[in-house]
Amino acid sequence: MVKKINEIMPKECVVTNVEPEGLSTVIYIKDIKAFYSNDRLIKELAGALKKKVTIRVDPTELMDIDKAKKEIENLVPEEAEIKSISFVPEMCEVRIEAIKPGLVIGKGGSILKEIMLRTNWSPVTLRAPTMPSSTLDGIRKSQVAEAAARKKFLVGIGKKICQEPPQSDWIRVMALGGFKEIGRSCLLVQTPNSKVLIDCGVNTATSDPTKAYPYLNMAGFSLKNLDAVVVSHGHMDHMGFVPYLFAYGYDGPVYCTPPTRDLMVLLQQDYLNLCNKVFNIDAPYKKKDIQTELRNIITVDYEEVVDITPEIKMTLYNAGHILGSASVHLHVGEGAHNLVYSGDFKFGFTRLFDPANTRFPRLETLFVESTYGGRKDMTINRFESEKRLMRIIRETLAKKGKVLIPVFAVGRSQEIMLVIEEYARRDPDFNASIYIDGMVMEASAIHTAYPEYLREQLHRRILSDRSPFESPLIKVAKGTSKEDIVNEEPCVILAPSGMLTGGPSYEYLKMMANDEKNTLIFCGYQSALSLGNKIQKGVKEVPVVGDDGRTKSLNINMRIETAEGFSGHSDRAQLMAFLKNLRPSPERILTMHGDWGKTEDFARSGGSMLRKESRAIANLEAVRLR
């Protein structure tokens, strides 16, 4: 690698060091002006190395930090609204966080280039959320504070990945969770030389460890021997158990999209609080394990091809489920086998995201979710869904009642918020407050930091300072007691958890359930083990924990409704359409992430339609792919 670089780089640049840092090859040089004098150099280097290439100026040539900061402030227009400038000497980088990062970059990258030419620091731009986010703020400060340890970790990973690809004569997978069930998703992909875990979730609907956590003890090797972990998206049933890996010996990389990283940290920290305060159980890991996980996360953008082991290449594609959700494509060996793990996906209209990607370079085996894979799992038209939701809300408000909508903090809450905000904005007679509580505000703030992951229309609204998440119609419950909200004028309340297993929605339920003027609207999946499922099925008396810690009965007198059509999952028709539109068509289909009968039903129907091998495997089954 060094030999190739020296053959391409002009001597005037003076190469001082070459390091394989994570997924990138970093080249340190003395003279950045000499490098920029040839616009084709970076392309030549990337083509020759077949790696992402990063150019940095040797640490001895960096401008003094105070002078460099003044230079940057003079170069970047005030309209960019810089929020922070952080220098990371370990990486020779300066990180510039701004509301409008495009103005920091400049036309064709002109301002970034000028910053590097004048200061020798490598500029990295970050989009600041348009709403305050303690999660994003903490993550970005942590990355600067942990730069030395992260640099050492990335160099170590880079050296492992750069080894000569070995020859593997077999590939197998093992289902460790989330097969013929929903919750604790976990799949092991293994060759004689590589061990990769895709997702590692926790079933938050139960505190029974035999049902809550993946079967990691059945993998047949120590967690220390894992090569990589890939996380499809930031829901607890897919990433909630990842910190456990670090608590018990794993110290390798975790690959995911940038928004998934932020949502992971947000929800995992909340899970620790729920374990201690609501579930009254010992959490399977501690806050320090989340911090170690964060240090080891390597973010990957959609459709970026990266090596995660010497013999496995990974590409993430839009799954349309929640912010940053991805379908995972693994290319094993020199074309030996290609598999796609769909993750949770939506192949249909939502206000937040484009439909899931269906085109892959190669595809032999498909692992596909089956949440709504049953023959009767057909949702109503989306337009009709929205009309019905708003009709129920208006009927409740007309009776001077209040509406409680339990939502998942990430995904469903933003989708429902957009629907209600749109209708309320266009209806001059709609004057009720829309309250958001719990982590909904924080998750929404993270959405504003990644508008490029959202639908074009929503993307434009955020960039033009018309973000629906900051609409004057929406009020944040923080600072207002739940009792005051419940006792005041009619309103709509969106609060997690979506299954009433804890959190603010559970507290609101206890205060609102007895009043028949109020309405509880379910807009998302209710696990068979959840309180939400019991109420949805018509149970009129449920046990709840009172303020004194004792269990008592709660009478459900409020109106109970289910508004279908807002799921981030594909219904039966969309699942079948997804299979039909896949290019290329897979040779083998293995269904997952669905209740027992639904995974089998969908496997039969999908295999019959494509005339391919298709079946539903169960937890602990191993399948040889080659």
User: Check: CATH 3.30.70.260 for 164-376+569-624?
Assistant: no
d(CA 565, CA 124): 40
Phi, psi dihedral angles at 595 (to 5 degrees): -65, 155
Residue in the block written with tokens 């249909």: 348
Asked whether 331 and 313 are in contact (CB, 8 A), the reply is: yes
Assigned architecture for domain 2-154: 2-Layer Sandwich (3.30)
Residue 377 Cα to chain centre, angstroms: 26
| CA 578 to chain CA centroid, nearest Å | 21
Residue 232 Ramachandran class (φ > 0 left, ψ -120 to 50 alpha, else beta): alpha
Give the model's pLDDT for residue 428.
87
Q: In angstroms, rounded to a whole number, what is the distance separating the alpha carbons of residues 112 and 416?
A: 39
The residues, ordered by sequence, that sit 6+ positions from 480 with a Cβ below 8 Å of its Cβ are: 435
Q: How far is it, in rounded angstroms, from Cα 90 to Cα 112?
A: 19
Q: What angle do CA 30, 32, 34 make, to 5 degrees?
A: 100
Tokens read off for 101: 């990062």
CA atoms lying within 13 Å on the CB side of residue 168: 26
Strands in 122-127's sheet, in edge-to-edge order, are 82-88, 93-98, 122-127
CA 517 to chain centre: 37
What's 281-292 look like in SS3?
CCCCCCHHHHHH
Q: Which helix (H) or strand (E) holds 424?
A: helix 412-426
What residue type is assigned to position 28 of the chain? Y
Q: What is the pLDDT of residue 519?
A: 97
Enumerate the domain spans of the chain.
2-154, 164-376+569-624, 382-562
Looking at residue 200, its pLDDT comes to 98
Q: Which CATH class is domain 382-562?
A: alpha beta
pLDDT of 431: 86
Q: What is the pLDDT, as a whole number, of residue 545?
A: 78
Predicted confidence at residue 550, as pLDDT, reads 79
Tokens in use for 460? 């434009």
Residues of the chain with pLDDT under 70: 278
Sequence-distant (6+) residues with CB within 8 A of 402 are 396, 486, 490, 491, 492, 493, 512, 517, 518, 519
pLDDT at res. 39: 86
Residue linked to tokens 């895709």: 198
Residue 407 to residue 421: CA distance in whole angstroms: 16
Domains 164-376+569-624 and 382-562 share a fold: no
Phi and psi of 100, rounded to 5°? -120, 80
